Structure 1
């Protein structure tokens, strides 16, 4: 009899679960056949990774944009699939705007910017980088063989084994302060970048979010040419999964434990299919999926951890704009030179009651006519922001409104959700790799959650799941950056 697995969601978590499950199955000397079905409410694969054609020669990521070369699943998969990377331009400039003035600007000359940064921020950049690297070293234990490699039944267990629990209990501001990182560097650099990354200030998000942001600031980043979603499409393809895409047939509305063993999965069009295991790889906080599981299941006993108010997602607009920034917005003369990218930072002292009109405007390309392609992040409606931030004639080439990532407040470890929501007597289960998003919201961490889910299922069916990354002998360690 085949093992039948339903996966809800075709983003990073869902497709990586399918991919690693197929890899594990192929390694077994003797096992049942494996049938995987991926349900996805949208008519595309990729989840919150979405690239759009903004002009004939330009593709721009409106969703998850970058990953680090030390993010082993994302980076090594892109290499294995022979996907080229986007070539990034050198020497771009950055301005930190506090609503009244540019608090700091870079020149695009690396050596000079380093000197100016050291003069302004002292040793804070080094202290912040050290703290980020220490946390990253702990995260990358997930790739190892042995106990630290899992699989893990709960997020709290995973955090404890990797020695990351302390980071989620304290705010980014408090933790960085305890590491000797100065207030100015926190507010201008880390918090400004944290707004771009998670739309949250350092006082309202836990320290792990801040350390992830720091890693992206200084790390070696990549974007797949043609869009990062190509990796997830390849995961799905190589898994051999049946794809059920689109509203109606792809929207799962019910997961119910069968009387003997296994689970019913019902979709919006009324079709009902049975599976041995179900992997819910979408956020339960805003997906209307009914889970009818036994009263003794971890889901029932710990349901409050899956749907707390704190897991509401940030509503964010990501907009591709072709035009020119307006010097008048920054109270500058019409012929003034502006930075290539602008990040809106908190003024000193902060005014939390006044949300920034935008988080960042980043130049990605300049056209022969002098206009440029910008990616704009804002919580305010993009039309309002574009009308004031850009010169007349600016064009919105594409826009996407996201439930981008959850709020990430300091959290008691007992309040993080379980990964195993239910188990039956035949080794089947309902798993929730999305639990990882309570503390991380990155493509790599979603893939780590997917790999963990695949290994949990394999373990419950008696498969051999020992081994490091990807599912064999460990390769040499990578440098510790997220």
Structure 2
């Protein structure tokens, strides 16, 4: 991976070695000029965004503040597992990129090991037959791709790496305490006008502009966007690039399930989990000890014990404020805060099948005993009812475990835009002992041109993490938004605005050196 010397004379590795990754260092240096810390903070949602927010808020505001995390369902949100037979399997967010520094930091801090890596093979299915099947031999795969697409695959990796190089700038900004009030400003700090341009064109348009052929886009790029976001190459160029990064080598997952990061962050932050659904938030004005008035947020919620409410200095919303995802009512705010922002979340149905695959469904004559492909991607063709089909390994890999061939009963995960019919399941599987179906509103429907995203700042001291999903939805994007919200809350509470919406880090670093 090329370094970012054009952005800063200090590399990420050097910054980490200098210790500036730890946010407490900055807070300690500036503590003398701070006001009293807040007493109570509410975080609504205990997915990766909410639990990461609790973790970063604790680091920013110290041990005295009380942090409550509201979650009506299981901790983890869209990171979830299901038990089938003797093992648990990942049903939600599955893989993490090697350059996702927040996620790497979390598991190191929490002492959670990465999952044991197993070799895998990929194939591409057009609804009738396999148009590509990966070989066990690297050079065979390389020359097959070279013969069919020229150097398109290598050029794609170079294009994605150039975008990742810019993406990595956000870690330097956050290490030095910089925060941003809108998604657009955050993206501009990463990649300048180029990232905003990507948001306003489709991935297909961006790649044609870079000289990629339509055949390569249809055969290689579309299957990747379909498996990662359930959508075509007409998603915006930025989320498309994030999707392509998700096809990179070195991807990893957490031993025992990715949701363990959420439970670990919650515990590490010393937050109190309140198993309740937040129904409304309003502003309450109260007299202060100094004789003036202060405004607090009243959070109303419903749990097993009935309705209740509590007052908070700061509120962080870490659940999507969109139709079908949340029904929080914001009352008494001027200007008003909508309960639902515009835009729709895209439905992807996850079907977990414990059964024996019918390899003839894939149009291959290969015997099931020799079919060892674990990941089947699909092209964007009318005859294809699924987005992907994958053989799952348990979230914890036993030492004696070997991934079975298709002739054995195993667990398969099918992504599809709609629930699969009984007829479709019978076509895909010779037999199955169990089947579970989960419809996810997993990520936004990405339709450029880019409309203005919801703000990170909903009100004076109320922040909204999930605005970032309208740029791209991923575990690391949620963690970046969580760090950004904690920094915003910290700077605005202490009335230190010098590191909000500024892009002068490069200049400052050069001046300090």
SS at match of 2:307: coil
Q: Does 2:286 correspond to 1:252?
A: no
> Aligned equivalents of 1:219 and 1:313: distance in 2?
28
SS at match of 2:319: coil
> Aligned equivalents of 1:318 and 1:179: distance in 2?
34
TM-score between both structures, scaled by the size of structure 2 = 0.79
Partner residue in 2 for 1:135: 163
SS at match of 2:448: coil
> Aligned equivalents of 1:292 and 1:411: distance in 2?
32
The one of 44, 54, 57 equivalent to 2:84 is 54
Partner residue in 1 for 2:209: 178
Q: Does 2:109 correspond to 1:80?
A: yes
> Aligned equivalents of 1:265 and 1:148: distance in 2?
32
Q: Does 2:483 correspond to 1:451?
A: yes
Partner residue in 2 for 1:196: 227
Shift of 1:324: 2.3
**Which sections of structure 2, spanning at least 5 residues, go unmatched?**
1-35, 287-294, 394-402, 500-513
SS at match of 1:68: coil
Maintained 8 Å contact 1:128/1:179: no
The one of 310, 318, 327 equivalent to 1:281 is 318
Partner residue in 2 for 1:240: 270
Residues 334 and 21 of structure 1: CA distance in aligned 2, closer, same or farther (over 3 Å): closer
> Aligned equivalents of 1:252 and 1:459: distance in 2?
26
Greater mean deviation of Cα atoms: 168-177 or 370-379: 370-379
Residues 190 and 333 of structure 1: CA distance in aligned 2, closer, same or farther (over 3 Å): closer
Maintained 8 Å contact 2:228/2:246: no
> Aligned equivalents of 1:133 and 1:334: distance in 2?
36
> Aligned equivalents of 2:262 and 2:170: distance in 1?
20
Q: Deviation string for 1:190-240 (max 9, x for gaps)? A: 11011110010012x101121111111123211101111111111111111
> Aligned equivalents of 1:334 and 1:144: distance in 2?
50
> Aligned equivalents of 1:465 and 1:12: distance in 2?
27
> Aligned equivalents of 2:202 and 2:257: distance in 1?
33
Partner residue in 1 for 2:23: none
Q: Does 2:469 correspond to 1:422?
A: no
> Aligned equivalents of 2:175 and 2:46: distance in 1?
29
Q: Deviation string for 1:123-180 (max 9, x for gaps)? A: 2112222221122122221111489962111112112222221111000000011111
> Aligned equivalents of 2:314 and 2:490: distance in 1?
11
Instruction: Supply the RMSD in Å over aligned alpha carbons.
Output: 2.6
Shift of 1:332: 4.6
Q: Does 2:98 correspond to 1:69?
A: yes
Partner residue in 2 for 1:462: 494
The one of 338, 346, 349 equivalent to 1:317 is 349
Shift of 1:382: 4.0
Residues 334 and 391 of structure 1: CA distance in aligned 2, closer, same or farther (over 3 Å): farther
The one of 36, 40, 50 equivalent to 1:14 is 50
Shift of 1:367: 5.1
SS at match of 1:170: coil
Q: Deviation string for 1:74-105 (max 9, x for gaps)? A: 11211222212222322x33221112222211
Residues 14 and 85 of structure 1: CA distance in aligned 2, closer, same or farther (over 3 Å): same
Q: Deviation string for 1:52-87 (max 9, x for gaps)? A: 22231x321100011112100111211222212222
**Which sections of structure 1, spanning at least 5 residues, go unmatched?**
28-32, 424-428, 468-482
Shift of 1:4: 0.9
Residues 307 and 150 of structure 1: CA distance in aligned 2, closer, same or farther (over 3 Å): same
Partner residue in 2 for 1:388: 427
Residues 214 and 367 of structure 1: CA distance in aligned 2, closer, same or farther (over 3 Å): closer
SS at match of 1:460: helix
SS at match of 1:108: coil
TM alignment of 1:70-149, pairs within 5 A: 70-90=99-119, 92-145=120-173
> Aligned equivalents of 1:178 and 1:136: distance in 2?
19
Shift of 1:360: 1.1
Larger RCO (alpha carbons 8 Å, 6+ apart): 1
